[in-house]
Amino acid sequence: MGMGIAPHSNSAGPAARGGSRARGRRGLWCALVAVLGLTPATAQPQTGLELAPGPATFNVFLRSAPVGFQRTDVRRMAAGWVIESLGDLSQPIDIRNQAFQVEYDAGLRPRSLRVGGVRRNLRFSLATTFSSGTVAAELDENGQLSRFRIAAPADAVVLVDFFFGGYEALARRLAEARPGDEIPVYVAPLTLTRARVDRVRRQQIETRSAAVVDARVHGISFLHDDGTVAAEVWTDARHRLLRVSIPQAAVDLVRDDIAGVGSRIRAAAHPGDETASVRSEGFGLAATVTAPVDLQMPPDGWPAVLLVSGPGAPDRDGTFAGVPVLGQLASTLADAGFLVARYDRRGTGQSGGRPESAGVEEYAEDARRMVRYLDDRDDVDRDRITVVGHAEGGWPAMLAAARERRADNLVLIGTPATSGAELVLEQQSAMLDRTNAPERERTEMIGLQRRIVDAVRDEGSWDGVPDAMRRQADTYWFRSFLDFDVADALRRTRQPLLILHGSRDTHVGPQHAQRLVELAGRRRRGAPPPQQTILEGLDHRLVPAGPDASPAEAAQTAPSISPTVVDTLTTWLDQRRYDR
CATH of the domain at 549: 3.40.50.1820
Q: Is 236 contained in some domain?
A: no
Inform me whether the pLDDT recorded for 224 exceeds 90: no
pLDDT of residue 540: 92
Q: Is 235 within a domain?
A: no
Q: What predicted TM-score, i.e. pTM, was given to this entire model?
A: 0.64
Do 394 and 325 lie in one domain? The reply is yes
The reply to whether 511 and 466 lie within a common domain is no
536 and 501 share a domain?
A: yes
Range in 15-24, 158-167, 243-252 with the lowest mean pLDDT: 15-24
Strands (E), 309-390: 319-320, 323-324, 339-343, 380-390
Task: Report pLDDT for 293.
Answer: 92
Instruction: Determine whether 125 is exposed, middle or buried from the number of CB atoms within 10 Å of its CB (0-12, 13-18, 19+).
Output: middle
- Say yes or no: 537 and 570 in one domain: yes
The pLDDT of residue 44 is above 50: no
Instruction: Note whether residue 199 is domain-resident.
Output: no
Q: Flag whether 503 is in a domain.
A: yes
**Residues 541 and 566 both lie in one domain:** yes
Q: What residue ranges in 309-425 does DSSP mark as E strands?
A: 319-320, 323-324, 339-343, 380-390, 409-413
In tens, the pLDDT along 3-39 reads 333 444 333 322 232 333 333 323 322 222 222 222 3
Residue 153: is the preceding peptide bond cis (ω within 30°)?
no
Indicate if 472 and 490 belong to the same structural domain: no
- The reply to whether 440 and 518 lie within a common domain is no
Residue 359 and residue 412 in one domain: yes
Let me know whether 331 and 441 are in one domain: no
In a domain, 94, yes or no: yes
In the chain, how many domains are there? 3
Between helices 476-483 and 360-376, what is the axis angle to 10°? 90
Strand order in the sheet with 284-290: 273-279, 284-290, 339-343, 302-308, 380-390, 409-413, 497-502, 531-535
Final residue of a domain: which of 172, 192, 212? 192
Given pLDDT bands bounded at 50, 70 and 90, which one contains residue 1?
very low
- Whether residue 28 is contained in a domain is answered as yes
State which residues form the domain around 466. Answer: 421-476
Instruction: Determine the residue type at 552.
Output: A
* pLDDT, tens digit, 9 for 90 and up, residues 402-443: 999 999 999 999 999 999 999 999 988 887 887 777 888 888
| Least confidently predicted of 185-189, 247-251, 453-457 | 247-251
Predicted confidence (pLDDT) per residue in 60-93, tens digit:
988 777 888 999 999 999 889 999 999 998 877 8
Residues 373 and 402 in one domain: yes
- Whether 573 and 490 map to the same domain: the answer is yes
- Which amino acid, 228? T
Residue 374 and residue 340 in contact, taking contact as beta carbons nearer than 8 Å: no
Within-domain flag for 543: yes
In angstroms, the Cα distances linking 137 to 4, 104, 126, 186 are 18, 16, 7, 12
Q: Do 415 and 429 fall within a single domain?
A: no
